[in-house]
Amino acid sequence: MNKFGGKAYDGADRTVDVHIKRLRDHFKQESGILITTVRGLGYKLEELK
């Protein structure tokens, strides 16, 4: 995939990483849910024990 959103994508954009970090912080504090990275697939939610 050479284009994303009509623009050439060089891989330097960290927007998703920033949003995931904010979501991780929020969910961990508020509900005890952990967002983990599944390499090559995406993300998953896990309940803290």
Would you say residue 28 lies in a domain?
yes
- Within a domain: 4: no
- pLDDT, the chain, mean: 83
Range of the domain at 39: 16-49
Is 3 among the domain residues? no
Q: Does residue 38 fall inside a structural domain? A: yes
List, for residues 18-40, the tens digit of each pLDDT value. 999 999 999 888 888 999 999 99
What's the confidence (pLDDT) of residue 5? 65
pLDDT band at 42 (very low <50, low <70, confident <90, very high): very high
Is the predicted pLDDT of residue 1 greater than 70, yes or no? no
Query: Is the pLDDT assigned to residue 12 strictly greater than 80?
Result: no
pTM: predicted TM-score of the whole model, two decimal places: 0.64
Could you give the number of structural domains in the chain?
1
6 belongs to a structural domain: no
Q: How far apart are CA 8 and CA 46, in angstroms?
A: 34
Cα–Cα distance measured from residue 32 to residue 41, given in angstroms and rounded to the nearest whole number: 23
